[in-house]
Structure 1
Amino acid sequence: MDEDVNAAPPTRLRAGCARLPEAPAWLDDVTGDEALAWVAERRAEAWARHASPDLDRLTRELTEVLDAPDRLPPVVSRAGMLYSFWTDADHPRGVWRRASWLSYVSGAPFRADRTIEPTEWELLLDLDALAGEWNRPLVWGGAKVLTTGPRAGGRALVTLSDGGSDTSVTREYDLDERRFIDVEDGGFLRQPSKGSLTWGDEEGEAVIVSADFGPGSLSSAGYPRQARRLSRGSDVDDAQVLVTAAPGSAAAGAVRDPWGRTWLTTMPSLYATRIWLLPEDAVCPTGAAAARAALSGETHPTLPPPTPEGDVVPTGAIRLDVPESSSAGIGRDWLTIELRAPWEVDGRSYAPGTLLGANLTDYLAGRRDLEVLFAPSPSTTLTSATWTRNHLVLTLLDDVASRLEVCTPPAPGSPAGAGWAHHWVDLTGAADLPGGPAPDSSQLRPGRPLLSVSASALDPTGSDYLWVSASGWTTPSTLAVGRLTAEGELTGMAVVRQAPARYDATGVVVTQHVATSADGTHVPYFEIGRPAGPDGTLGPVLVHAYGAFGVSLTPGYEPVTGKAWLERGGTYVVANTRGGGEYGPAWHQVALGAGRHLVVEDLTAVIESLVDRGVTRAGSVAVHGSSAGGLLVGELLVRHPDLLGAAVLEAPLLDLRRYTHLLAGPLWVPELGDPDDEAQWAWMCEHSPYELLEPGRTYPPVLLLSSTRDDRVHPAHARTMAWRLARLGQKVTYVESAEGGHSGYATSPQRARTSALIHAFAWKHATGSAETR
């Protein structure tokens, strides 16, 4: 499971930074001896500097929270059984297990007249034992259980990585015999890559694989450009070539849907996708020569000509005629199209954020009878959709609080023109209830409950049963199951698991506020904490933000932050800046590229709002961000150091001048811009924290965290920033974990230790920051 993440990236493209100390090139060598020696020294310094009995105690408490035996076990339903991956103190790397429905619901809290029985779990795979056997720091990457044919529930494709990196392998596992099936015995294997392996037929005699197939098979971001269908016992070089993305594309893939249809996709870029339906009788090119020719753009007797865009798909593949920027969803008989840009079809215009529905067979035949299933409003947007056998369930955000809507298509034989039916699902009883001090003028829709809900189908091919989960900032997660009636109403919903509280939330109040950004836009944020005490003081403030890639930050129970921050008396703030998806495509897209400044202005406005409201004071608030959120916090650090008491940056993207030459960086050009285009660099340079540090200026204390095994955001971003800050005489702490990948941790003890350090660091530098209201 070795992967090529250790090579040094290209020569630095530094320009215009003569006043700044230049970090040594050896910091780019991920596992180079000199770099790892420097990393080890910084890590030892960090833990020695922050060591204390309080930190040790907090680490133990957080480990207990994360490994609590009565926490809610995540489950999925496959082939009549419930599967779960579980970690605890005895199994830090985790066990994969399954249970019958009867055994699982025996532990449900909804029957007061029956004794709750512990679930009887059947152990399938012990990762701790396997890691010892293989002598590798294995991290779980998921499993795909075969659900059809004679081997249903007996075979699975298990994905594992070394240390939590994105690069992983997938191997076939025999669930009955509890063993991996070697290739020599006919088992399936995907070699190390950032690809995937899924089942390719009903009997489990074929798989669809996207992987590193050799020279030219990976995009510049490191993702596969080709997907193949491999039959059992065959060599991958002899597999059928299903799809090959054009040179310069981001990725290609293929998947078999729950109803047995095969779909091909190519991604020209991060926010563009082309889709084809592969008919069962389509003839696919086969063999290594055809595969290499498709990748190199050469001709081959069995290869069809490329599409006008340069993709190669089998003759007879049916292009799904939807906008490349849209997101298509497939049900048994229906197609949904979620728009990210305006679309005009058959003389009708549809706005971004709209969800359209159409009969799949009719649509593929050329008919464009589209029905609007969801139309966005200034406050609402669609976040996800899931199909049951007969219904489509939407999760919507309304001013960043969730609700569910059930859409039911017309039944076969309905009169011409019959429309879809719609039903709301009322789950407000699971939410944080309004309360606390009287609303102030900054509050957004005061008095309404705040919660996040999600829904997923138990079996989209066979039933209308639905998983429903809900939680709030102070309300632990609840998992329920219910059935949708023919009319789309949720009935018989029963709670099957309810997580207990993990921290003392007595007196903690949840409110939602708006700040006014520099351009007048109202930016929402959540505030979670106790009201001011008798002396008028509040606890220290920790602000979390992300602001990129359309990711929404929504209410949800966070037991680690609750234990480490809220229980102690701190106030936690979550900022919903532009760049996220809280208000649909426009909220995200306005902050792309040159609009990046809006994200920083939004976060600045949130902190200034907290200061104006007396929640904190300038120069003492702690701000935390991960990945693209680390970029945002880095931008705030270099632009407005006077606002901050501390900055915490996890797995951060910081060097925009070079990011496209570091691991997966090329994939993010549509989001952040191309620094090799000097016209774009003219505005990008204003958002590169590494470039914007200034000698002689004082910055607040900085905690930088990364992982040697992160093959998504190169650790050089954090390493070089830490090195430069230190050379400028700033207070900087750098911790790079040996494993954990982009998340930074592979086990609960590792996560607990890192989280304890983050919160202790933030508390130290934000203590005493609150003033009276």
Structure 2
Amino acid sequence: MKTSLLSATLLSIACFASTALRTDAAVTDDPFLWLEEIEGPDAVAWTRAENEKTLGVLQSDPRYGHFYGQALSILQAKDRIAYVSLKRRGLENFWQDENQVRGVWRRTTLESYRSKDPQWETILDVDALAVAENRNWIFHGSRCLPPEERLCLISLSDGGKDAATIREFDCDTKTFVAGGFYLPEGKQHVSWVDRDTLLVARDWGEGTLTQAGYPFVVKELKRAQPLSEAREIFRGEPSDVRASPFVLRDSDGNIHATGAIRAISSFESEYVVFRPDGPVKLNLPKKAAIVGLVRGRLLVRLDEDWRPPGDISFAAASLISYDLAEWQQDPLRAKASLVFQPGPRQALSGLGVTKNLLIMTILENVQSKAFAYKYDQGAWSATPISLPEHANISLSASSDGADQAMFAVSSYLRPTSLWYFDGESKSLEELKKTPSAFDASNHIVEQLEATSRDGTSIPYFLVRPKNARFDGTLPTLLYGYGGFQVSLLPSYLGPEGRLWLEQGNAYVVANLRGGGEFGPQWHQAAQGATKQTTWDDFIAVAEDLISRKITGPRRLGVIGGSQGGLLVGAAITQRPELFNAAIIKVPLFDMLRYTKLGAGASWIGEYGDPAIAEQRAWIEGYSPYQKLVAGKTYPVPLILTSTKDDRVHPAHGRKAAAKLAALGQPYFYYENIDGGHSAAANLREYARQLALEYTYASRRLCSE
């Protein structure tokens, strides 16, 4: 759950701290608990039968083969942008295509990258590794030791799970280090201290994982030391979400602090810094994050209003900084100063540091701009970066070894372009551009607003044919998320444009409360006790589309994944008459048991705890699984999930389908074996998923 990855959280915390009556979720009346056993023989047999039924119908539709071929062609296009990270050894990229199905980790130079056909040097061939070791390895990235970046910790997942195996890799010899660091499979967090020392949070044995299944014990591990002999340096609480190590380095690789981050809830953390005289808990607010170092300034992002003792106050969503030397001397008495405070309808959307610059992207009414901030002579100055207007600007890479950054510039109809920014010369260069995936000449984008139940204006983007007749007959897919302070920003609708828009249809993206489009307050307005606000906003956008006669209930479908799958589930159970299609991907659905499934307990800060009577009451008010009842007719949904999803348990989707079957309601269900929370482990599986989605949507919304 794209994951980040708040006012209601205060209520949630108060409930935890009080002696509130706790109650165990009633399960005796749930006939489908057996589907929670991921690899249970009966559950596996049920899944296979459901997959066969769904594939039998959708893959036999003549549109499926056409859609699959088009999607795969777009996803595997040789001339699509190879996004890179700016590393000391060159520009690094992870690439998948028809030949490199699992992918290849590779590097090139900036000069070569500028060319039409860059010359790539392979660092690690994951396909070859999977064959050699007879494992279904999925590459989950690397963490390399600064500043040389020769030794790296490689994360490899079996089938796409969040849990991964970590192995030490030598980028000079391009081999795994014999007798090097090795951490068996688990959900774990690792930081380099030096070439012979790691800080590790992982499963150390019985009693070292939180209810959510994440570690809360951090240990120091030395080279060649057995895991059993690692030295414990920090211990959180079993009731936490997780604990993880952190190492604060500057651009030259010098360490200025080591410590641990204790995630108390989904959105609240405590920082503990290890000092010679003992650990010190920083006096930052719980809704704050240390985000980097630049030019001797320590940067902290705030997600709540804060007034430090004897200091000026700072508003939520601000970025503040400390003098690093003063902070190191006494982190509890160092004085903070303001770097950036958003205005009305503004939000800080992206941040990165280079050797001397702070790079930020800022949203204003869901429109993007980029700035380079520099600290000099005791003050911050901001310089706009003149990227194309009327598009979403995201920071795709930054270098801490030089003043270099890259930006992806995108909109729904305009192919994404990649820009290189040289902060020293302040020059901009367009390096790459996504090939056109569909004919966008017949469509336009409009930003409209709907009025939610409480009178709040909810913006949304409508991508529609220029010649659309406003008679309520336009096939329309409405997409949303609305959770965890995640923003939905314009991005090129490549496969969706080819498979959906080119057929003369419309696509809508709603910017709901619960997201981060207008900062933490926008998120906090729909959290915990007020989570129903997200569902109200989504329903308001659907009603607005119908009242404007852009579409009608016969032609309107909804789509979302993870939290967005819960969103769709809430929409079709609360207002089923508004929709004729629902694509529900890797969803949360049984909210009365979500804390017992997968990593669900880590999201109590977003939804509340069903084991606490007061909080259970508000969750029960919308939990889609319980709201599926006899006597109602629901839009026939397509439910997609993955057996290897160890974040949102596949039982959510399984049980939703099984209950619909028991109610005599038609549905489609497909469970991919691999892929984890993305429900697709490679481009072929993703193309299949897209083909299934748009074949289903075309059958439901376009057929007469």
Q: Same fold (TM over 0.5)?
A: yes
1:214 maps onto 2:210 in alignment = no
| Structure 2 residue aligned with 1:419 | 379
1:457 maps onto 2:398 in alignment = yes
Corresponding residue SS for 1:331: strand
Check whether the contact 1:78–1:147 (CA below 8 A) recurs between aligned residues.
Answer: no
Check whether the contact 2:562–2:588 (CA below 8 A) recurs between aligned residues.
Answer: yes
1:579 maps onto 2:514 in alignment = yes
Check whether the contact 2:354–2:398 (CA below 8 A) recurs between aligned residues.
Answer: yes
| Structure 2 residue aligned with 1:434 | none
Check whether the contact 2:346–2:362 (CA below 8 A) recurs between aligned residues.
Answer: yes
| Structure 1 residue aligned with 2:292 | 330
Q: 1:224 deviation in Å?
A: 1.1
* Aligned CA distance change for structure 1 residues 749 and 456 (closer, same or farther; 3 Å): closer
Corresponding residue SS for 2:66: helix
Q: 1:529 deviation in Å?
A: 2.2
Check whether the contact 1:96–1:125 (CA below 8 A) recurs between aligned residues.
Answer: yes
Map of 1:476-495 to 2, 5 A cutoff? 476-485=415-424, 491-495=426-430
| Structure 1 residue aligned with 2:56 | 48
Stretch of structure 1 that moved more, 129-138 or 560-569: 129-138
1:662 maps onto 2:597 in alignment = yes
| Structure 2 residue aligned with 1:271 | 267
Mapped to 2, the partners of 1:239 and 1:81 lie a distance apart of 34
Corresponding residue SS for 2:496: helix
Mapped to 1, the partners of 2:470 and 2:540 lie a distance apart of 27
Corresponding residue SS for 1:468: strand
Q: 1:367 deviation in Å?
A: 4.5
Q: Equivalent of 1:556, from 488, 491, 504? A: 491
| Structure 2 residue aligned with 1:386 | 352
* Matched residue type, 1:142: G
Check whether the contact 2:190–2:245 (CA below 8 A) recurs between aligned residues.
Answer: no
1:362 maps onto 2:362 in alignment = no
Check whether the contact 1:399–1:583 (CA below 8 A) recurs between aligned residues.
Answer: yes
Bigger radius of gyration among the two: 1
Q: 1:720 deviation in Å?
A: 0.7
Stretch of structure 1 that moved more, 705-714 or 372-381: 372-381
* Matched residue type, 2:319: L
| Structure 2 residue aligned with 1:229 | 220
Q: 1:507 deviation in Å?
A: 1.9
| Structure 1 residue aligned with 2:10 | none
Stretch of structure 1 that moved more, 263-272 or 707-716: 263-272
1:321 maps onto 2:321 in alignment = no
Check whether the contact 2:361–2:394 (CA below 8 A) recurs between aligned residues.
Answer: yes
Mapped to 1, the partners of 2:461 and 2:32 lie a distance apart of 41
Corresponding residue SS for 1:257: strand
| Structure 2 residue aligned with 1:642 | 577
1:97 maps onto 2:106 in alignment = yes
Check whether the contact 2:470–2:551 (CA below 8 A) recurs between aligned residues.
Answer: no
1:373 maps onto 2:339 in alignment = yes
Mapped to 2, the partners of 1:104 and 1:532 lie a distance apart of 41
| Structure 2 residue aligned with 1:521 | 456
Q: 1:337 deviation in Å?
A: 2.6
- TM-score in terms of structure 2 length: 0.92
Q: 1:370 deviation in Å?
A: 3.0
Mapped to 2, the partners of 1:558 and 1:713 lie a distance apart of 26
Check whether the contact 1:396–1:404 (CA below 8 A) recurs between aligned residues.
Answer: yes
* Matched residue type, 1:764: R
Check whether the contact 1:96–1:124 (CA below 8 A) recurs between aligned residues.
Answer: yes
* Aligned CA distance change for structure 1 residues 535 and 612 (closer, same or farther; 3 Å): closer
Check whether the contact 1:170–1:196 (CA below 8 A) recurs between aligned residues.
Answer: no
- TM-score in terms of structure 1 length: 0.84
Q: 1:454 deviation in Å?
A: 2.0
Q: 1:368 deviation in Å?
A: 4.8
Deviations 1:590-636 (A, max 9, x none): 11111011111101110111111111012430100100111011001
Stretch of structure 1 that moved more, 676-685 or 652-661: 676-685
Check whether the contact 1:705–1:735 (CA below 8 A) recurs between aligned residues.
Answer: yes
| Structure 1 residue aligned with 2:6 | none
* Matched residue type, 2:104: V
* Matched residue type, 1:56: G
Deviations 1:318-352 (A, max 9, x none): 43321111122231421223222221222533221
Map of 1:179-194 to 2, 5 A cutoff? 179-181=175-177, 185-194=178-187
Corresponding residue SS for 1:88: coil
Deviations 1:703-734 (A, max 9, x none): 11111001111111111110000111111111
Q: Equivalent of 1:241, from 226, 232, 235? A: 232
* Aligned CA distance change for structure 1 residues 179 and 401 (closer, same or farther; 3 Å): same
Q: 1:533 deviation in Å?
A: 4.8
Q: Equivalent of 1:161, from 148, 157, 162? A: 157
Mapped to 2, the partners of 1:503 and 1:337 lie a distance apart of 42
| Structure 2 residue aligned with 1:84 | 93
| Structure 1 residue aligned with 2:555 | 620
Q: Equivalent of 1:258, from 246, 249, 255? A: 249
* Aligned CA distance change for structure 1 residues 225 and 724 (closer, same or farther; 3 Å): same
* Matched residue type, 2:263: M
Q: Equivalent of 1:606, from 512, 537, 541? A: 541
* Matched residue type, 1:450: A
* CA RMSD of superposed structures (Å): 2.0
Q: Sequence identity of aligned pairs in percent?
A: 33
| Structure 2 residue aligned with 1:128 | 127
Q: 1:560 deviation in Å?
A: 1.7
Deviations 1:433-473 (A, max 9, x none): xxxxxxxxxxxxxxxx2323325422x2x321222221111
Q: 1:70 deviation in Å?
A: 0.7
Deviations 1:661-709 (A, max 9, x none): 1121111111101111112112211110000112021111111111100
Mapped to 1, the partners of 2:676 and 2:324 lie a distance apart of 40
Dislocated runs of 4+, deviation >6 Å: 534-538
* Matched residue type, 1:121: W
| Structure 2 residue aligned with 1:433 | none
Mapped to 1, the partners of 2:397 and 2:491 lie a distance apart of 17
Check whether the contact 2:597–2:648 (CA below 8 A) recurs between aligned residues.
Answer: yes
* Matched residue type, 1:34: D
Mapped to 2, the partners of 1:718 and 1:409 lie a distance apart of 50
Mapped to 2, the partners of 1:72 and 1:389 lie a distance apart of 26
* Matched residue type, 1:128: D
Gaps in structure 2 of 5+ consecutive residues:
1-22
Corresponding residue SS for 1:470: strand
Check whether the contact 1:620–1:643 (CA below 8 A) recurs between aligned residues.
Answer: no
1:31 maps onto 2:27 in alignment = no
Mapped to 2, the partners of 1:478 and 1:403 lie a distance apart of 15
